Structure 1
Amino acid sequence: MEIMPLKFIVPFSLFLYLISALAHATDVKYCDKKTDYGVKVKGVEISPNPIARGHPATFSIAATTDKAISGGKLVIDVAYFGWHIYSETHDLCGETTCPVSVGDFVVAHTQLLPGFTPPGSYSLNMKMYDGNKNELTCIQFGFTIGFVSSVADI
């Protein structure tokens, strides 16, 4: 058996790492491509990815704003294979540090998903409003809940 030379192993390993990172990238879309939202979303990180049933999942949304934000709310809607299944509203200041200064900030939300949550493809729609109920941004992205569950549901 011939051993692969080191000069091929390192580039091949780097290639596999990059493919793996791209496979877990979260594709974020604005709800209305024509709207110039005051809050621009740079990206979404989901941890763990895929999400494990019966375990906490954290959604971290990196964004930037051109105006300071003193308060507001987040409205989250979740769909499972296109069917609306869940909605919740959160105080913006409970998900990030307020007041939000002009520039970059992160909105982070952790959710414990019940062990009976069905595995599969989900989509999330998040709207952010300021204290005067003006829509600051609206994004959509998909995520996956895996087949792993907690020992408690066995």
Structure 2
Amino acid sequence: MAEMKLIAVLLIPLLCLIVPLTQAVNFHYCDKQADYDVFVQGVEINPHPVIRSQLATFTVNAYTGEAISGGKLVIDIKYFGVHIHQETHELCGETSCPVSAGSFVISHTEALPAFTPPGSYQLIMKVIDGENQKQMTCFSFEFRVKVGSSMEDS
């Protein structure tokens, strides 16, 4: 019995290091009254907090009732409420196209520049239809950026 307790005491810190650094985050639709064609089911960030100069992946689990042949993914970043960056990507570069009706995943990976200040950020993501430029969804979520490795305290 004492051996089992010793093993448990030794394994708990090890498991804390092995636990995935992916974290689901809360998201909010830009317009709560809008009738979006794409519904967000969840958002995950890996690692979280994001470490500047290292790759970070933002994964969005979504659902659509109709097939999507293509479009744009527009990403706006705010730092302390101030717009600091915007980028646009082809939707088909962030998910497999055409997107069939049902569940699908949007995955965006990038490394933030070394000069990115640590702190709290807001990411606003819009999916724009390629055929008629209709906004299919718009949502936002918060994330943190830190300096250093993912094994350090933030």
What is the aligned partner in structure 2 of residue 106 from structure 1? 105
Q: Among the aligned pairs, what percent are the same residue?
A: 55
Q: CA deviation at 1:147?
A: 2.4
What is the match of residue 134 of structure 1?
A: 134
Aligned to 1:152: none
Paired residue secondary structure (1:42):
strand
Is the 2:120–2:145 Cα contact (8 Å) retained in structure 1? yes
Q: Which residue of 1 aligns with 2:152?
A: none
CA deviations on 1:108-145 (whole Å, 9 max, x unpaired) are: 01011111110000001111011120110000100000
Alignment RMSD (CA, Å):
2.2
Contact 2:60-2:105 within 8 A present in 1 as well: yes
Gapped runs of 5+ residues in structure 1?
A: 150-154
Counterpart residue identity of residue 139, structure 2: I
Following TM superposition, where does structure 1 have runs of at least 4 consecutive aligned residues deviating by more than 3 angstroms? none
Residue 93 of structure 1 aligns to a residue whose secondary structure is helix
Cα offsets for 1:72-96 (capped at 9, x unmatched): 0011100001110000000000100
Equivalent residue runs for 1:1-154 within 5 Å: 24-131=23-130, 132-148=132-148
TM-score, normalized by length of structure 1? Answer: 0.81
Paired residue type of 2:29: Y
Verify the 8 A CA contact 2:24 2:42 in the aligned structure 1.
no
Residue segments in structure 2 that go unaligned for 5+ positions in a row: 150-154
Report the Cα offset of residue 43 of structure 1.
0.7
1:25 deviation in Å?
A: 3.3
Q: What is the identity, as a one-letter code, of the residue corresponding to 1:82?
A: G
Normalized against structure 2, the TM-score is what?
0.81
Mapped to 2, the partners of 1:88 and 1:25 lie a distance apart of 23
